[in-house]
């Protein structure tokens, strides 16, 4: 016999009902808790939410920090960091998990802070931000000093008072928070803002920066250990003095700055010299300079007098030089006369050796007469030879003349543009000129038939008797 359905008094719940009941129980029991643990599996989602796990040696608790609270955390979580997370315990029904919703985060004790500080110092040192080669020399006497500090604390009053006592300078104050949320970002922005000022702008660019804060605990000074502040100090093109805390306090900005001052007052003393000391030093240098100049002049005078005693009387030197000059002048006069005498003698010898110009004229005249006689002898022969050559060339030219051809019965036909040598050059009505051996005649061109064109209206210019035209030659054609 089959068993029937079991009957129980235990109520039935849906999964959602159980999950909501667990969620209400957790949130009602753990409405506000502080949990201490080590951060593990930290990640930042694209949405901006932070996810991590808090663990100890026996258990693990998931944690989440929503985007709106993530930007307000005093520290940024990292894996291995021991923290104290504050928030509420709730459940995530989608995965049957419980978790803590974090709204604040702080390091768990002084030891954790020191460990974080040492890890950050080592990381920045490996990047070279603390190298001595990066540090700049401080100006001897800056015209403008920029101070990054709180405008209401005693620090700025101490700095201004110390500058007034030593050497008054123009001071620009960039007010910032020096502790708490947003302090690190304001200090970094102030350092970058001073560096961004134009040198010739309405607000003068400082020659020196002082980042100052009074003493406090490690947590109070933590803003000056933030990476954004350290990087801004290391990147500053303006020399920077860090004066954070008391002499025993050390922050990371002290390693990145160009000079560390134990106190803000000491920073003011580093920034400018004492005007009274400079005046005394200047007066002492002036006195020493005048004394040294007097001693130098006196030594040079003594040396000149000593050298003067060893010198010969200048008048005796002048007399000796005058006598030597007279002697040289006398010798020069005698030498000049001897030179002129020698030149005259040499000129006389050359004159005796040269022939007289009349003799040269007679000789050249005789040479010219001889040459003229030879020319008269050969002139008739040369003329005869040139005449015979010219007559031969004339006969050759005469034999090549076209007029010889005209004497054999030919004629030259000319148009307006010159001689015509082909029948195609004759057009109807073209004015023609015919040249014969005995004279010239004019004609007008007609229609071209075959290879010859008839000539009309021929008229002779001379009374020469017309000759009968010879029979036409098929190979040559006729123009008449």
| Alpha helix stretches (DSSP H) within 127-200 | 154-166, 183-196
What is the C-alpha end-to-end distance of the chain, expressed in Å? 159
**What does the radius of gyration of the chain's CA atoms come to, in whole angstroms?**
65
Closest to 242 in 3D by CA, of 267, 276, 268: 267
The fold adopted by the segment(s) 141-273 is Rossmann fold (3.40.50)
Query: Using CA atoms, how far apart are residues 141 and 166, in angstroms rounded to an integer?
Result: 11
pLDDT at position 75 is 79
Question: Lowest-pLDDT range, 9-23, 293-307, 442-456, 458-472?
Answer: 458-472
pLDDT at position 112 is 67
**Residue 18: pLDDT over 80:** yes
Q: Where are the domains of the chain?
A: 15-107, 141-273, 324-366, 404-460
pLDDT tens-digit map of 376-431: 888 888 888 889 999 888 888 877 777 777 777 788 888 888 888 888 878 888 88
Give the predicted TM-score (pTM) of the model: 0.47
pLDDT tens-digit map of 153-183: 889 999 999 999 999 999 999 999 998 888 9
**Residue 470: pLDDT over 60:** no
CATH (residue range 15-107): 2.40.50.140
CB 22 within 8 A of CB 74: no
Q: 192 pLDDT band (50/70/90 cuts)?
A: very high
CB-count exposure of residue 415 (10 Å: 0-12, 13-18, 19+): middle
- By residue count, the chain amounts to 480
CA dist 142 → 165, 197, 339 (Å): 16, 16, 83
Q: What is the mean predicted confidence (pLDDT) over 34-45?
A: 89
């Amino acid at each position: 016999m089959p068993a029937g359905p079991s009957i129980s008094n235990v109520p039935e719940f849906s999964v959602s009902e159980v999950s909501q009941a667990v969620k209400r129980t957790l949130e009602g029991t753990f409405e506000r808790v502080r949990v201490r643990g080590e951060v593990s599996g930290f990640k930042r989602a694209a949405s901006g939410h932070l996810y991590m796990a808090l663990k100890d040696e026996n258990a693990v608790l998931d944690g989440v920090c929503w985007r709106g609270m993530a930007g307000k955390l005093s520290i940024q979580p990292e894996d291995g960091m021991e923290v104290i997370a504050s928030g509420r315990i709730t459940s995530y029904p989608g995965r049957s998990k419980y978790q803590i919703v974090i709204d604040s985060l702080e390091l768990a004790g002084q030891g954790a802070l020191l460990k974080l500080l040492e890890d950050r110092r080592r990381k920045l040192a490996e990047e070279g931000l603390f190298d001595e080669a990066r540090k700049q020399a401080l100006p001897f006497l800056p015209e403008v000093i920029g101070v990054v500090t709180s405008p209401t604390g005693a620090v700025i009053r101490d700095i201004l008072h110390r500058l007034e006592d030593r050497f008054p300078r123009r001071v620009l104050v960039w007010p910032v928070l020096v502790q708490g949320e947003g302090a690190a970002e304001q200090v970094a922005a102030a350092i970058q803002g001073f560096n961004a000022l134009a040198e010739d702008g309405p607000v003068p660019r400082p020659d020196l920066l002082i980042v100052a804060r009074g003493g406090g605990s490690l947590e109070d000074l933590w803003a000056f250990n933030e990476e954004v502040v350290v990087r801004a100090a290391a990147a500053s093109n303006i020399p920077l003095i860090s004066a954070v805390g008391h002499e025993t306090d050390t922050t990371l900005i002290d390693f990145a700055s160009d000079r560390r001052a134990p106190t803000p007052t000491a920073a003011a003393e580093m920034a400018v010299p004492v005007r009274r000391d400079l005046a005394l030093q200047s007066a002492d240098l002036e006195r020493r300079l005048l004394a040294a100049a007097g001693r130098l002049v006196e030594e040079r005078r003594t040396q000149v007098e000593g050298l003067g005693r060893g010198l010969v009387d200048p008048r005796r030197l002048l007399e000796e030089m005058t006598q030597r000059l007279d002697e040289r002048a006398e010798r020069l006069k005698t030498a000049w006369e001897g030179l002129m005498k020698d030149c005259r003698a040499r000129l006389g010898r050359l004159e005796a050796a040269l022939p007289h110009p009349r003799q040269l004229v007679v000789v050249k005249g005789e040479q010219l007469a001889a040459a003229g006689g030879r020319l008269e002898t050969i002139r008739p022969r040369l003329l005869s030879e040139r005449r015979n050559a010219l007559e031969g060339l004339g006969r050759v030219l005469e034999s090549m003349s076209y007029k010889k051809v005209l004497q054999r019965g030919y004629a030259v036909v000319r148009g307006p543009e010159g001689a015509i040598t082909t029948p195609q050059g004759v057009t109807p009505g073209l004015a023609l000129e015919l040249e014969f051996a005995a004279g010239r005649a004019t004609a007008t061109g007609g229609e071209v038939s075959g290879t010859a064109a008839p000539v009309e209206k021929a008229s002779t210019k001379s009374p020469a008797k017309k000759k009968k035209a010879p029979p036409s030659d098929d190979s040559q054609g006729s123009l008449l």
